Amino acid sequence: MPYGGNNPNDDSGVLRYVRVEYSGGKADGQSENNGFSFYGVGDATVVQYVEMFEGLDDGFEFFGGTVNVDFLVAVNAQDDSIDWTEGYAGTITNAYVVHGPEHDKGVEADGYNTDIGNNSNPVFWSSPTIENLTIIGLGSGTGNEAIRLRAGTRVTIKNAYIEGFNEGFDMDGDLINNLTGAGVISDETNIIDISFIDVNIKLKNDTEVSFTEADLISGDGNGTGTDFASWGARWTVE
């Protein structure tokens, strides 16, 4: 089904107080279904108070678009809890992620769809903002990553709390097509106010660009994450 367009202010309606449980049945033997998928959705769309619970694939995936999401919950996604690609540029405010025994990343982020290439002209990277983010893992001994940034994505994360991972951030890229590290140097990728609890490695840099933790992260120890106990009461399950 085709999607996309040139109207960043597209209005695709309202999605409020929606919970998707036990999603992820295979569509064709290879492709599993996300809890929520947003394809080129614009920022006049309202998405608030949404939860994915116990899904086989990603909890929330954004394929381009500018849609903003307020109050997002992903519990026990067996793939990535939050995933974006194809130039997604919205804002996610108040996100709460909890890992179960079967899971991948809390956030896995691509600047473009690596299956088809970054074919926009001029080249355009995903560049969302996340404000008030909590990711709870299963402990630093599990060998897992909380957030993987790759394929040139940019992101601004403000006020985050990450607990129970071997790696907080794993950044992948190169100097030619996947300029993830360049986003740090250009100040397009920023982590502002974050706390790491039971995390062995705060930053793993595999971007081929040299930078320090201080270049990426400011306010280490100042993050409180989202107040899930308050806004998540009475409508979510864990």
Q: What's the CATH number where 130 sits? A: 2.160.20
Share of residues in the chain with pLDDT > 70 (%): 96
Average pLDDT on 8-12 reads 95
CB 153 within 8 A of CB 190: no
The phi-psi region of residue 94 (left if phi > 0; otherwise alpha if psi is between -120 and 50; otherwise beta) is left
CB 50 within 8 A of CB 235: no
DSSP state of 26: B
CA–CA separation, 40 vs 66, rounded Å?
7
pLDDT digits (tens, 9 = 90+) for 167-208: 999 999 999 999 999 999 999 999 999 999 999 999 999 999
Assess if residue 212 is contained within a domain. yes
pLDDT digits (tens, 9 = 90+) for 100-125: 888 889 999 999 999 888 888 888 99
Assess if residue 3 is contained within a domain. no
In this prediction, residue 104 carries a pLDDT of 84
Assess if residue 78 is contained within a domain. yes
**Secondary-structure percent of the chain, ordered helix, strand, coil, rounded to 5:** 5, 40, 50
Domain count of the fold of the chain: 1
In this prediction, residue 31 carries a pLDDT of 65
pLDDT of residue 93 exceeding 90, the answer is yes
CA–CA separation, 191 vs 157, rounded Å?
5
Domain of 116, in residue numbers: 14-231
Supply the pTM of this predicted model. 0.95
Average pLDDT over the chain reads 94
